[in-house]
Amino acid sequence: MENGFSSPRSDAFPAGLRVLVVDDDPTWLRILEKMLKKCSYEVTTCGLATDALRLLRERKDVFDIVISDVNMPDMDGFKLLEHVGLEMDLPVIMMSVDGETSRVMKGVQHGACDYLLKPIRMKELKNIWQHVFRKKIHEIKDIENHESIIEGMHLTRNGSDYSDDGHLLSVDDLTSVRKRKDMEKNHDEKDFSDASSAKKARVVWSVDLHQKFVKAVNQIGFDKVGPKKILDLMNVPWLTRENVASHLQKYRLYLSRLQKEKENSGMKHSDASPKDPPGSFGSIHQSDVVNSSYLFSGNSLLPRTVDPSSHEDDLKSIISEPVMEPKRPPVNLPDSHKTKNSQMGFNRSFQPLESEVDFAAFNSGIPTKSYWGEVPDVQFGQEHTPFVHLENGFTKLPLPDPLNHVNADSLQSIPCTAERGISGPTKSKPPCPEYGSNQISDPSPKVSILDPFPQSSKSNIVNHQRALEPIYPCTSSLTTQASCLSCTADIESAQRDVLNLASGSSSTLASFEDDLQVLFQGDSYGDTLGVRNLGFSDYIDAGLINEVPIHLYDSLRFGYEYPCDMTEYAILDQAY
Report the interface residues with another protein, using CB under 8 A. 1, 3, 5, 24-28, 30-31, 34-35, 38, 69, 71, 73, 96-98, 118-119, 121-122
How is the chain split among helix, strand and coil, in percent rounded to 5?
Answer: 65, 5, 30
**Residue 221: which residues within 8 A CB-CB, separation 6 or more?**
none
Q: How far apart are CA 54 and CA 126, in angstroms?
A: 26
Nearest to 331 by CA among 528, 534, 148: 148
Distance CA 374, CA 110 (A): 20
Give the nearest distance from C-beta 428 to another protein in angstroms.
Answer: 59
Closest CB 25 distance from another protein, rounded Å: 5
CA distances from 435 to 270, 294, 372 (A): 17, 21, 16
**Residue whose CB is less far from another protein, 122 or 518:** 122
Collapsed DSSP state (helix, strand, coil) of residue 100:
coil
Pairing of strands 114-117, 42-46: unpaired
Rg (C-alpha) for the chain, rounded Å, is 25
Q: Smallest distance, Å, CB 121 to another protein?
A: 7
Q: How far is the CB of 1 from another protein (least distance, A)?
A: 5
d(CA 419, CA 432): 25
Q: How far is the CB of 85 from another protein (least distance, A)?
A: 24
Backbone conformation region of residue 554, classed left if phi is above 0, alpha if psi is from -120 to 50, else beta: alpha
From 257, 251, 385, select the one nearest 322 (Cα to Cα): 385
- Least Å distance, CB 98 to another protein, is 7
* Shortest distance (Å) from residue 62 CB to another protein: 24
User: What's the min distance (Å) between Cβ of 107 and another protein?
Assistant: 15
Nearer to another protein, 32 or 467 (CB): 32
Nearest CA among 377, 391, 319 for reference residue 152: 391
Which residue number, 104 or 399, has a Cβ lying nearer to another protein? 104
**C-beta closer to another protein: residue 114 or 165:** 114
| CA–CA gap between residue 504 and residue 534 (Å, rounded) | 13
Nearer to another protein, 69 or 335 (CB): 69
Neighbouring C-beta atoms of residue 196, cutoff 10 Å: 11
| 48 or 122: CB nearest another protein | 122
> Closer CB to another protein, residue 94 or residue 461?
94
Residues 6+ apart with CB under 8 A from 318: 389, 392, 393, 396, 397, 534, 571
**CA separation for the pair 95, 22 (Å, rounded):** 10
Q: How far is the CB of 113 from another protein (least distance, A)?
A: 21
Q: What are phi and psi of 398, to 5 degrees?
A: -70, 120
C-beta of 93 vs 491, nearer to another protein: 93
Task: State in angstroms the smallest separation of the CB of 2 from another protein.
Answer: 9
Q: Which residues contact 105 (CB under 8 A, 6 or more apart)?
A: none
The minimum distance between CB 73 and another protein, in angstroms, equals 7
Number of H helices, E strands in the chain: 31, 5
Secondary structure class of 575 (helix, strand, coil): helix
Nearer to another protein, 117 or 236 (CB): 117
- Residue 122 or 201: the one with the smaller Cβ distance to another protein is 122
Using alpha carbons, list the distances in angstroms from residue 493 to 149, 226, 379. 8, 17, 22
Pick between residue 97 and residue 550 the one whose CB is nearest to another protein: 97
102 or 158, CB closer to another protein? Answer: 102
Q: Which lies closer to another protein via its Cβ, residue 121 or residue 405?
A: 121
Distances (CA, A) of 82 to 47, 77, 383: 18, 9, 28
The least CB distance from residue 50 to another protein, in Å, is: 17
Q: At what angle do helices 565-575 and 336-354 cross, to 10 degrees?
A: 40
How far is Cα 318 from Cα 326, in angstroms, rounded to an integer? 13
297 contacts 368 by C-beta, under 8 angstroms: no
- Residue 29 C-beta: closest distance to another protein, Å: 8
